Amino acid sequence: MNNQQDGGPLTLRDVAAAAGVSLATADRVVNGRPGVSEKTASKVNEAVQRLGFRPLAAAAELARARSWRFGVVLPRGSNRFMLDIADHIRAQADWFRARRIAVEIIETDVFDADRLAAELAGLPGRFDGVAVVALDHPRIRVAIDDLVDAGVAVVTLVSDSPSSRRRHYVGIDNIAAGRTAGSLVGRFLGRPRGDDPGGSIGIVTGSGSLRDHAERRFGFGQVMTEEYPHLTRLVPVEGRDDPERNRALVRRMIADTPDLVAIYNTGEGSVGIGEALAEAGLARRILCVGHELTPATRRMLLDGTFAALVAQDPGHEVRSMARVLHALVSGQEIIAAQEHIRVEVILRDNLP
Amino acid sequence: MNNQQDGGPLTLRDVAAAAGVSLATADRVVNGRPGVSEKTASKVNEAVQRLGFRPLAAAAELARARSWRFGVVLPRGSNRFMLDIADHIRAQADWFRARRIAVEIIETDVFDADRLAAELAGLPGRFDGVAVVALDHPRIRVAIDDLVDAGVAVVTLVSDSPSSRRRHYVGIDNIAAGRTAGSLVGRFLGRPRGDDPGGSIGIVTGSGSLRDHAERRFGFGQVMTEEYPHLTRLVPVEGRDDPERNRALVRRMIADTPDLVAIYNTGEGSVGIGEALAEAGLARRILCVGHELTPATRRMLLDGTFAALVAQDPGHEVRSMARVLHALVSGQEIIAAQEHIRVEVILRDNLP
DNA sequence: CTGTTAGCGCCTTCAC
DNA sequence: GTGAAGGCGCTAACAG
């Protein structure tokens, strides 16, 4: 790491001197601004290379003296996970302030494409950067592309709109998340032995049309088909992430499925599943795997109702969103490796 | 988040004006420096509260114009995981440079307490902050405390010395990591059914005296005893994290243990275990759980030799170390929640 | 196309 | 105990 012959830290001024140009010219080259001849530019670049110059971020930030407005579009009301996202944004207030970033959380009906599209249409001019919990819907794609065309830096958050021209997606690979859930269920149930008939697996999902849930079901199904063909998957039931609905659905599932051995919930509202099982005296006897760490799922992990959770860290996601938007608006590079959001597996024993 | 009535961003100058003092005095109060009377201080503090002032990090950093020297003491030669740590430190070079931090990696024989203690004794004066992969040994405790007394900010990395006065430990809870491994092994093997005799579990460990490995064995044993008493744990064998030794040990283990059903490796060198199993035609038939994601363990996860890994993210650890040391030397607060290093579970399906 | 110059917001001598 | 003034390294007007 001893990569600089310390004769006092290297500044742009040193580079300018070494290249025989003025500070301003060196600055133009380093920041890729126009108005410099080919040869002067290469002289400066050569000096940058030779001296190993890197601009001091703090000084650049101070001198730029620009402030930014970011908007974060989240589903209104909503579930614990989204509330956590909002809380983490507020918890980052100092980070934002220290970078002259004003953040506004905009709550809207994300599940209604028209409403969401209309909301997005009103954003240019109000914000320099926008993070949105998106829908994979043609109207949303257009709305996002319009935002991008209006010069707004756009990233999707948690739920992607991959066909849009958003600059970045902050969230997990939901197919991988579903596969992970599938492997956990399959392995936890164990290999069939002797005359073991396998059994049925119930699938509770939020809605058939949400991309993230669909991807999870898809990944789950992949693993089940490939690796655990002796297990039967029931037709997914839709509880719209609502504990009450989930409870009713699971009650019926229990009644209708004598060989039920496991339940996979692709979304929120896991607590309803736990309640239905407890009522039937089946808690801990039927294997449950769900998503996201919340007070409710934490409790059910600790009491054994749920065996494992597949999760994404909302804190990481918010910090990543902040870094990425800031990098995008201020023209810095984003370090992909650092911004990868992991699919986490949480058992009772590695609860954070 | 609309917490500032924007009339242009708030600066220390505004606070000084509001409190009726000079910039310098306001600065002294805000940074808790001496030489201000009680009443002036409270006037300033009141203004800070009322206006909701937060200093702009970039300006502070620039004005401080101080540079720091950090040293990171790592085990010499060493395994893939430690090499990854070193690589991540080099990959953070820009981050460090942008904060005027010069980092030096110091390789030493961490496993020899005297050698390590001597190395640490030579550090004061050379560094403002030191991160060390420590040993839980009285001599190391003293060496760390001496460093702290010499005014050096010290954090332990990956392996702790909890009785020392190090300011922070950057690493995972190894008991939790061992428990997690235990739950994975227990659940993957499945509940005993009918006349199922359970089986034996081999334990491969680095050395009996390393604290992290001992803690992992302890956590693993806790879960086994509590939850899976039908499984027999063999006496741990010590392979010093060396693939060759591990291979020989596992060969013998296979020969001596007809009912071997699983192997848990608390440390490195998992590849030797995989090789021994492959030779015996037992790969994928004996359940393996190990630690840390490396090219070798990744391969064995993909081919099914290992069912799961319990891991810590070296990238997170290096970034956390950097943030914490920087915060310590520059007198900033550290956000505990953000610095918690997670015990990760990696399956084939959620490989990053 | 290139150079000069005045700050960005805070910290740190140095006087008072 | 308090204040005035210069500068940290870079950027962005403005001249030339």
Contact B272, B263 (CB under 8 A): no
- H or E stretch covering A41: helix A38-51
Q: Do B189 and A190 touch (CB under 8 A)?
A: yes
Q: Do B102 and A1 touch (CB under 8 A)?
A: yes
Contact B268, B240 (CB under 8 A): no
pLDDT at B242 over 60: yes
Tell if A57 CB is < 7 Å from nucleic strand D: no
Binned at pLDDT 50, 70 and 90, residue B284 comes out as very high
Tell if A22 CB is < 7 Å from nucleic strand C: yes
pLDDT at A189 over 80: yes
Decide if A93 touches B, using CB distance below 8 A.
yes
- Output the pLDDT for position A143: 96
Tell if A43 CB is < 7 Å from nucleic strand C: no
Query: B190 or A275: whose pLDDT is higher?
Result: A275
- Output the pLDDT for position B1: 39
Decide if B67 touches A, using CB distance below 8 A.
yes
pLDDT at B2 over 70: no
Task: Return residues 171-210 of A near B (CB < 8 Å).
Answer: 176-177, 179-180, 182-184, 187-191, 193
Tell if A37 CB is < 7 Å from nucleic strand C: yes
Distance from CA of A308 to the nearest CA of B (A): 10
Which nucleotide's C1' atom has the smallest distance to the CA of B23?
A: D3
Tell if A63 CB is < 7 Å from nucleic strand D: yes
CA of A8 to C1' of C4 (A): 25
Q: Do A67 and B176 touch (CB under 8 A)?
A: no
- Output the pLDDT for position A211: 85
* The amino acid at B153: A
- Output the pLDDT for position A5: 41
Give the architecture-level CATH label for domain A174-311: 3-Layer(aba) Sandwich (3.40)
Q: Who contacts A46 (Cβ-Cβ below 8 Å, separation ≥6)?
A: A19
For CATH 3.40.50.2300, the residue range(s) in chain A are 68-168+315-339, 174-311
pLDDT at B4 over 50: no
In this complex, the residue of B97, B340, B345 whose CB is nearest that of residue A345 is B345
Residues of B in contact with A315 (CB under 8 A): 337-338
Decide if A350 touches B, using CB distance below 8 A.
yes
Residues of B in contact with A286 (CB under 8 A): none
Which tens digit of pLDDT belongs to each residue from B189-231?
Answer: 987 666 666 899 999 998 777 788 999 999 999 999 999 999 9
- Output the pLDDT for position B34: 86
Tell if A76 CB is < 7 Å from nucleic strand D: no
Decide if A30 touches B, using CB distance below 8 A.
no
- Output the pLDDT for position A4: 38
Which tens digit of pLDDT belongs to each residue from A229-240?
Answer: 999 999 999 999
Q: H/E/C letters for each residue in chain B?
A: CCCCCCCCCCCHHHHHHHHCCCHHHHHHHHCCCCCCCHHHHHHHHHHHHHHCCCCCHHHHHHHHCCCEEEEEEEECCCCHHHHHHHHHHHHCHHHHHHCCEEEEEEEECCCCHHHHHHHHHCCECCECEEEECCCCCHHHHHHHHHHHHCCCEEEEECCCCCCCCCCEEECCCHHHHHHHHHHHHHHHHCCCCCCCCCEEEEEEECCCCCHHHHHHHHHHHHHHHHHCCCEEECCCEECCCCHHHHHHHHHHHHHHCCCEEEEEECCCCHHHHHHHHHHCCCCCCCEEEEECCCHHHHHHHHCCCCCEEEECCHHHHHHHHHHHHHHHHCCCCCCHHHHCCCCEEECHHHCC
For CATH 1.10.260.40, the residue range(s) in chain B are 12-63
Lowest mean pLDDT among A136-150, B67-81, B255-269: B67-81
Binned at pLDDT 50, 70 and 90, residue B48 comes out as very high
pLDDT at A42 over 70: yes
Q: Which nucleotides of C are covered by protein (CB under 7 A)?
A: 1-5, 7-13
Decide if B352 touches A, using CB distance below 8 A.
yes
What number is the average pLDDT over the span A148-162?
94
Q: Do B315 and A338 touch (CB under 8 A)?
A: yes
Distance from CA of B76 to the nearest CA of A (A): 16
Where does residue B77 fall: left (phi above 0), alpha (psi -120 to 50 degrees), or beta otherwise? left
Give percent of chain A above pLDDT 90. 72
Q: Do A315 and B337 touch (CB under 8 A)?
A: yes
What number is the average pLDDT over the span A188-208?
82
Pick the CATH number of B68-168+315-339 from 1.20.1260.10, 2.60.40.1120, 3.40.50.2300, 3.30.70.260: 3.40.50.2300
Binned at pLDDT 50, 70 and 90, residue A33 comes out as confident
Q: Nearest chain A Cα to B105, which residue?
A: A1
- Output the pLDDT for position B197: 67
CA of B57 to C1' of D8 (A): 13
Task: Return residues 290-329 of A near B (CB < 8 Å).
Answer: 307, 310, 315, 319
What number is the average pLDDT over the span B261-279?
96
Decide if B89 touches A, using CB distance below 8 A.
yes
Query: Which residue's alpha carbon is at the shortest distance from the C1' of D7?
Result: B63
Q: Nearest chain B Cα to A185, which residue?
A: B188
Task: Give the separation between CA B71 and CA B130, rounded to whole angstroms.
Answer: 5
Which tens digit of pLDDT belongs to each residue from A246-269?
Answer: 999 999 999 999 999 999 999 999
Q: Which nucleotides of D are covered by protein (CB under 7 A)?
A: 1-13
Lowest mean pLDDT among A291-300, B24-33, B203-212: B203-212
Q: Do B182 and A104 touch (CB under 8 A)?
A: no
Which nucleotide's C1' atom has the smallest distance to the CA of B35?
A: D1
- Output the pLDDT for position A253: 97
Binned at pLDDT 50, 70 and 90, residue B243 comes out as very high
Residues of A in contact with B59 (CB under 8 A): 58, 62
What number is the average pLDDT over the span A43-71?
87
CA of B49 to C1' of D7 (A): 29
Residue whose C-alpha is closest to residue A92's, from A314, A310, A348, A249:
A314
In this complex, the residue of B58, B184, B350 whose CB is nearest that of residue A58 is B58
Task: Return residues 203-262 of B near A (CB < 8 Å).
Answer: 219, 223
Decide if A340 touches B, using CB distance below 8 A.
yes
- Output the pLDDT for position B194: 61
Query: What is the CATH number that goes with domain B12-63?
Result: 1.10.260.40
Distance from CA of B258 to the nearest CA of A (A): 19
Decide if A126 touches B, using CB distance below 8 A.
no
